[in-house]
Amino acid sequence: MIGKTISHYKILEKLGEGGMGVVYKAEDTRLMRVVALKFLPPAMTSDSGARERFIHEARAASALDHPNICNIHEIDESEDGRTFIVMACYEGENLREMLNRSVPEPDRVLDLIRQVAEGLREAHRKNIVHRDVKPANIVVTSDGLVKIMDFGLAKLKGVSHLTREGSTIGTTSYMSPEQALGHKVDHRTDIWSLGVVLYEMLTGRTPFRGEYEPAVIYSIIHEDHEAPSRIRPELPEGIDALILRALSKDPDKRYQSMDEFLFELDRIISPESDRSSVAGGDGKILWLLKKPIVGIPVLLLVCLLALLAGNSIRKAREAQKARNELLPAIMDLVENDRYYDAWETALDAREILTDDPVLESLWSEMTTSAAIVTFPPGAEVSIRDYAVPDAEWHSLGVTPMDMAFLPQGFFRWKIEKEGFIPLEVGLPSDRDTFEFRMDKAGSLPEGMVRIPGGKGGDWMPGFGRLTTPVLPSFLADRHEVTNHQFKAFVDAGGYERGEFWKQPFVLDGRSIPWDEAIEMFRDRTGRPGPAGWEMSDYPDGRADYPVSGVSWFEAAAFAEFAGKSLPTLFHWVYVASVKASAQIIPLSNFGRDGIAQAGSHHGTGHFGLEDIAGNVSEWCFNTTAEDRYIMGGCWSAPQYQFNFPETRSPFDRSECNGFRCIKQLGDEEPPGEVWDEVTFRPARDYEKEEPVSGEILDALCSIYQYKKTDMNEKVEFRDDTGEDWAIEKISYDLPYGGERMVAYLFLPVGASPPYQVIVLFPGSYAMDMDSSENGRNLNTFDFVDFVIKSGRAVLCPVYQSTYERRDGYSFYNPLSTNSDHSQHIIMWRKDLSRSVDYLETRDDIDMEKLAYFGSSWGGWLAPVYLGQDDRFSVAVLRLVGLPTFEILPAFSPFNFLSRVRIPVLMMNGRYDYTFPYESSQLPFFENLATGVEDKKLVLFPTSHSISGHRNEMIRETLDWLDKYLGPVD
């Protein structure tokens, strides 16, 4: 179009494009003036309705003659039949461009809005409603004059057929509630839209927001806006009230005309000032004040009152500032699960806003309370953000503390008392009582930390859940043994003194005499010492680096020399704090260039040990066959190695091999079993495995089949008292054991049937819970409560071995047999499918829109069930992966992944110690038969939880359901 002449208008350049037109700058060759031409977009030329609305714009706007409304010169049509409007072309910028540059000063905003209101008042007097008032449609000329543009949606009262019934023509953020709902609108919709524009011009953001259009519309219809003065405290008095009335959801409660709006706006722009006289006309009061006996006391009283008033004003201003600045900041931090930052900010706010209900509500959401005790008492306890190791410490007080309010989450603790060794540990705030035992300065061996006794060992892939012997208190090296420390052993003749080498040397089943074995442990120059040393000495500048390149035998000999021992697997797992992987791993030495100086990284665990993850791997005492365990991973290992045991030949002297020691306290010894061999189940390598054939899988599926008999379903009770959902407790017969099972159906309040429905399969903690408490104590319910609020139904079956149906079985119990596992996996399949059978009996359920939600236990078993039940349309799985241990083919999810073709959303922790990312999560995801475009893996910086990322989880889940089940009406 550029350079062409349309009629007598030469096109100079394109100015912009909107939903109803393309605008060009042009030269009027007859009158020698610059104008703007507005055309329908080519794609809309064939739309007679669009053309009719377009022409209507010109006729409506041309009837208006006002300095704040764009001048329309004529309507014409090009040779190819395209209709265009000729209007004035103004030099300047629109309000959108102005806002993109910066938020204007309030006085400037009020002047501009006043001009817009004047122009709209003129339009309303002519029965013309703009219906698309927004910053992009308001131009400010170079001389400061406002021009309202684009009456493309203008509507003459009574000409309603131009707009299709139920449509929502306009720009979403600026629509009135009645416009967003597609209801009949009048001039009051412009008052609403102008209120939105005023709000945005003053604050820099619109009052009703959302990440997508339906969320914005929901906010416009249902939610209240934040007062603009809370965002920008310096705004003139009266602005909040003006905007509050302009943005009333009910049109009858808004300003009823632009005259009313302008009247209130003018009062803000030019407030009246009332003056009063202190003295009367006769001057008697002034005369009295001149008398010392009266004047001095009065003067003192006035000064005191002024002081009190000033203090009151100061406090009021501080409170107002706190409400305007701190409360919104706290809300935002809590909304994003940044509880530590929210807690710090709230501490300041609570000093100013005492008993503020909003603040107290946020406080209860972000904090938890606990008692803090130290032995001895009188220690100062401080905390700081774990992820920011150099952040300032925040003191909680001096022990004992009966009730300390802590932010939810994981953070660093420091406990200090004069004359005692300070403690620094990483702990979550999930306890009722925190106890810390302190040791007098100089009472412990240098570089060692007291580890309080407890149940040793914990769950780790590779050996399932270890038995948990009770360990007495012991000492552990704060950091890995350094080159400098190991040099003392070498210099003391440690490689020549047989008394330190107490363990037999066995290689490939053959016993090796000590004098022969010791020759294997030489440095690069053939001298005694670690593999990377030279001349029995470590490299220059590496004294404080962990010793590496040592065999298990060398590590054990050093421990004997130092009067210590290597940790057993139970001791190491106990102190490692594996469940804090998400916090520890990012601050540890993984994936870097080499070994780091001891203690230079900040991945501190529950007991204050340094470099427990990464840097060098750490030898442990226990055997598995002829190998020994080596734990924690090293600087060059994948991060998941921290969560997974590794075994190596005790003769191995790899560069990554290091160690730390422990030492028993007093005469109490740990149970003898902790030194025994621990059977190692190596992780399955799914890259090398092949699933069973389709024929075999068909045969295996036969064991899951059941006969669909009469269910004898019954609604045991219904509770309609909930604000967001009703609960039905349902029971029905099972196809095994003559049993009946219970399920809880949650039906959304405010939504209309037939409902989309989600069937929940919870995590394994449901096996540890005694009762579902009639649907009020359901594990993993936090995974679906927001789904009900979105308008969908949720069914929560009570599966075998959970809640009231507990039978003593646990998948992770090392005493459970393959037969136990097999029987239960079959029963769970029948529980799930029978529950879906029940849903088919109901008229208020849309069986074409059925989703499966599985978490952890309910996630890794999902392929077994989804691969056999084609009634599910979509799946959402949380904290899921393939099992790292062997399982019979008929029950292995790996074999069923090829049968899962529905869309699948996976949400996992990157540092999951149950399902490691590379060896478990990826094989699960990649082997799903679902098309690439219909499966998604979302990773959070967490371990076996998604704590702290609820909002992201909600967004991902609802977006997934909306995409594949459709949004809820």
Calpha distance 203→106 (Å, rounded): 9
Please check whether residue 500 is in contact with residue 494, taking contact to mean a CB–CB distance below 8 angstroms.
Answer: yes
C-alpha separations of 295 from 107, 278, 287, 730 in Å:
43, 15, 10, 84
**Cα–Cα nearest to 366, from 330, 392, 394:** 330
Cα separation of 516 and 891, whole Å?
A: 50
Per 3-state DSSP, the chain is made up of helix, strand and coil in percentages (nearest 5) of 35, 20, 45
Is 132 an annotated catalytic residue? yes
What is the C-alpha separation between 66 and 265, in angstroms, rounded? 20
CA-wise closest residue to 471 among 642, 612, 677, 665: 665
CB 188 within 8 A of CB 254: yes
Upstream peptide bond of 893 is cis (omega within 30 degrees of 0): no
If we measure between CA atoms, which residue out of 871, 923, 920, 873 comes closest to residue 898? 923
Secondary structure (3-state) at 956: helix
- Rounded Cα distance, 692 and 891, in Å: 12
- Using alpha carbons, list the distances in angstroms from residue 371 to 381, 397, 413, 433, 437: 12, 12, 14, 5, 14
Between β-strands 874-878 and 845-855, what pairing exists: parallel, antiparallel or unpaired?
parallel
CB-count burial class (<10 Å; 0-12, 13-18, 19+) for 850: buried
In one letter, which amino acid is 274? D
Q: Is the dihedral of CA 199, 203, 209, 211 positive or negative?
A: positive
**DSSP result, 592-628:** SSS---TT-S----TT--SS-SBSSEEEEEEEETTEE
Q: How far is CA 285 from the centre of its chain?
A: 67
Contact indicator for 185, 176 with CB cutoff of 8 Å: yes
**DSSP run (H or E) holding 433:** strand 433-437
Q: Which of 163, 196, 151 is nearest to 177 (CA)?
A: 196
Considering 28, 47, 76, 132, which one is annotated as catalytic?
A: 132
Neighbours of 224 (CB within 10 A): 11
The tokens describing 280, both together, are 């009367």
DSSP track, 382-402 = EEEETT-TTSPPEEEEES-EE
The structure tokens listed for 59 are: 């006729």
Q: Which of 852, 746, 741 is nearest to 800 (CA)?
A: 741
Whether 619 and 566 have beta carbons less than 8 Å apart is answered as yes
Amino acid at 765: Y
Distance linking the first and last C-alpha atoms of the chain: 44
Alpha helices in 355-436 (DSSP H): 357-366
Orientation angle between helical segments 292-321 and 339-352, nearest 10 degrees: 160
What's the gap between Cα 923 and its chain centre? 25
Q: What is the 3-state secondary structure (H, E, C) of 244-267?
A: HHHCCCCHHHCCCCHHHHHHHHHH
Active site residues: 132
